[in-house]
Amino acid sequence: MKRTSNLIAALSIVGLLFAAISFAQQREGTPGGSPGVSPSQPSAPTPAVESKESQDAPAIPKASTFIGSPVENQQGESLGTIGDLVIDPGAGRITYAALSYGSVLGLGGKLFAVSWEALQLQPDGKTFVLNISKETLENSPGFDKDNWPQQPDPMLSAAAGQTTK
């Protein structure tokens, strides 16, 4: 009886050792394999080169990607950040961006309804350029955070060289 229990204990220890080794190999990955795939299973073939279509396809941005993005004019002066985007669900498009200017840690400052078409996304994919002077923005009335307009500010759109729809 004692011999049987010693044999069971020894086999249990050996089994635990093999399980630990197998687990470690899966976590570290094996050459030519994927983590979580045992060496006895063939791994899925990986394409050697991505197709040209997948390389040229732009990333699909979400609205949250643009919230907080910096906006500057063509002279490189900071005009603020994108505070929010207003969407017309009936037309299925962005109506305007709420440009936040002059706030410190989200306090104070002004909000401006800027036509989405007036904003030009730069190649870095993070910064927008708005073709207006800092003085034009400072002299515009903006809007109250509790009273959002239906359309972009026609004065800012005209100053940026855009027409409102």
Question: Each residue of 149-163: pLDDT tens digit?
Answer: 999 998 887 666 654
Q: Which residues contact 129 (CB under 8 A, 6 or more apart)?
A: 71, 72, 73, 74, 119, 120, 122
pLDDT recorded at residue 155: 83
Tell me: pLDDT of 38 over 80.
no
- What's the distance, CA 64 to chain centroid? 6
Identify which of 150, 129, 155, 130 has the alpha carbon closest to the alpha carbon of residue 140.
155
Give the amino acid at 75.
Q
Tell me: pLDDT of 114 over 60.
yes
Q: Which residue has the tokens 């910064």?
A: 127
3-state secondary structure of 84: strand
pLDDT in tens, 67-104: 999 999 999 999 999 999 999 999 999 999 999 987 66
63-159: CATH topology:
SH3 type barrels. (2.30.30)
Whole-angstrom distance, CA of residue 84 vs CA of residue 100:
9
DSSP 69: -
Give the amino acid at 76.
G
Higher model confidence: residue 16 or residue 87?
Answer: 87
Confidence of residue 28 (pLDDT cuts 50, 70, 90): very low
Burial class of residue 20 (count of CB atoms within 10 Å of its CB; 0-12, 13-18, 19+)? exposed
Q: pTM of the predicted model, to two decimals?
A: 0.59
| Domain boundaries along the sequence of the chain | 1-37, 63-159
